[in-house]
Structure 1
Amino acid sequence: MAVLGVDGWQLGWVGARLEGRAVQLLDLPTVAEVLAVPDVDVIGIDMPIGLSEDGVRACDELARHRLREFGAASSVFPAPVRAVLATDDYAEARALSRAATTPPRAPSAQTFQLVRSIRSLDDALGDPPPDRVVEVHPELAFRVGLGGVPDRKGTARGTVQRLAALRAVMDVEDALADAPAGVPMIDALDACAAAWSAQRLADGTAESVGDGTTDSRGRPMRICW
């Protein structure tokens, strides 16, 4: 049984195909290529899937609460409301969000940078969305699930801690040695963490946060690891 973990980056998506302990890193320019990776039972993707129409998602709030004790609550960006997907203009996105939310709330610039990727994923999933594509979050995997990762990603200590955590469950260094040219270390490790979460989903041992609701397109508003 193989699974796929996926993390977005500036040139598209980094995939980590995990089968047993063997993991292969993939450069996947489009969501269509992500969904077309052959012979994977679950795809765990670090990108919002279920989107609220009028407020903050419970899964984002609960994920931040779980990560707060590790000092990593800020790693969970509040997902934009669905209305924001209608525009690529930040000023218009802020206006659309404020009109849809009570009290009025606008997406941060950092969150807005994800809108194109969220839209492309939302469009590709279709109606109804496939059950095998699930939202995950690497910091929940590293901090809560795998454990032993107290430092921030991108730092020397945080990188070594993440490597050690992944080494226990997959042959991560072999994957990094054969990674596609240009793939950043941060995104490669996050994709591997997403693959670990996808494996737990396939095994039926995953944990999740959320309130059990789905959005207007039938996508669950939950984050798994």
Structure 2
Amino acid sequence: MARPGGDTAAIVAGADGCPGGWICVLLDRSSRSVTPLLCRSSEELLAIHPEPSVLAIDMPIGLPDSGDRDCDRIARTLLGPRRSSVFPAPIRPSLAAVTRRGADAISRAIVGRGVGAQAWALYRRVLSLDRLIGPEEQALCVEVHPELSFFALNGDRPVPDAKRSPGGIATRRALIDAAFGPEAFPLVRRAIAPIEADDDDLLDALAACWTAHRIAEGTAQRIPADPPTDARGLRMEMWF
């Protein structure tokens, strides 16, 4: 499979969901400058300008009809103490539900696992992306998990502290400073109001952007190496 992006593409981007919608960080690979954007919807996210060669998104892309995805299982193994940050991807039949109770019933009937409030909160974003991203769009839009990005930034070691703890914020901030320079995070923080995105959201978007840059450079890793496709032909994979 040809990897997304390309060596000559100047702009890459990483995106993470936040209270205000999506925090998206663009990186100009030539000047190394970052530009933060706040997108209110998935439609706005996929229409950002300038168009990046890679858009790395922290959200499931490619959904199973039943069971767990291989990429989720592998990610949990790699992350060890941070494994709980990898939520099971919704099964596609449950996306048809309009209430958490309905999604819970469908999921329990098919996989014997319910849908908690935290998982249900992600359903609308997952569904909106699923309607916008097909196999053709997956040449641009790739799934990432920020904890895997931080794993790679940290020398292929899980970050020991939870991301919202003081130690977790400090460690991830230091990793982002080393990757982008110490001015990048303050620039993004000044541009995005705290009510719209927390510090950990900004750090996750920057980590996703770093992975997008690695994909464009040809140095990123993908799990699994030969990903299966879902019923819509989407690859079920993660990059880091």
The match for 2:209 among 195, 205, 211 is 195
The AA in structure 2 aligned to 1:67 is L
Q: Determine whether 1:27 maps to 2:34.
A: no
1:136 to 141, 144, 150: 144
Aligned to 2:74: 62
The CA deviation string for residues 88-146 of structure 1, in whole angstroms up to 9 with x for no partner, is: 31111111112333xx222332212110000001111146433110000000111x210
Structure-2-length-normalised TM-score = 0.86
Aligned-pair Cα RMSD in Å: 1.6
**Distance between the aligned counterparts of 2:227 and 2:135, measured in 1?**
19
Structure 2: any 5+ residue segments left out of the alignment?
1-9
- Give, as a single letter, the amino acid of the residue that structure 2 aligns with 1:3: V
Aligned to 1:122: 130
Taking the aligned partners of 1:125 and 1:194, their CA distance within structure 2 comes to 18
Answering whether residue 163 of structure 2 is matched by residue 153 of structure 1, we say yes
SS of 2:16's partner is: strand
- Report the 3-state secondary structure (helix = DSSP H, G, I; strand = E; otherwise coil) of the residue aligned with 1:52: coil
Q: In 2, are the aligned partners of 1:128 and 1:218 still within 8 Å (CA)?
A: no
Could you say which residue in structure 2 is the equivalent of 1:111? 119
CA contact (8 A) 2:138 2:234 kept: no
Q: Which runs of 4+ in 1 moved over 4 A?
A: none
Tell me by how many angstroms 1:10 deviates.
2.4
Alpha-carbon distance in 2 for matches of 1:222, 1:130:
11
d(CA) in 2 for partners of 1:145, 1:49: 21
* Residue 104 of structure 2, aligned match among 94, 98, 114: 94
Match of 1:218 among 233, 236, 240: 233
Counterpart pick for 2:65 among 53, 65, 78: 53
Q: How far apart, CA to CA, are the structure 1 residues paired with 2:135 and 2:141?
A: 13
Query: Post-superposition shift, 1:177?
Result: 4.3
1:6-45 to structure 2, matched below 5 A, reads 6-20=15-29, 21-39=32-50, 40-45=52-57
Matches of 2:42 and 2:154 in 1, distance apart?
Answer: 30
| Deviation sequence 1:4-39 (CA, Å, 0-9, x none) | 100012221110111233222211001111111123
**What is the rounded CA distance, in whole Å, between the counterparts of 2:121 and 2:185 in structure 1?**
30
Higher strand share: 1
Q: Which moved more, 1:120-129 or 1:215-224?
A: 120-129
How many correspondences in the alignment?
A: 220
Q: Structure 1 regions of 5+ residues with no counterpart?
A: none
Matched residue SS, 1:6? strand
Whether contact under 8 Å (1:129, 1:218) holds in the other structure is no
Q: Secondary structure of the residue that 1:114 maps to in structure 2?
A: helix
Q: Please state whether the residue corresponding to 2:14 is helix, strand or coil.
A: strand
Partner-residue secondary structure (3-state), 2:223: strand
- Cα distance in 1 for residues equivalent to 2:198 and 2:38: 11
Which letter maps to 2:179? V
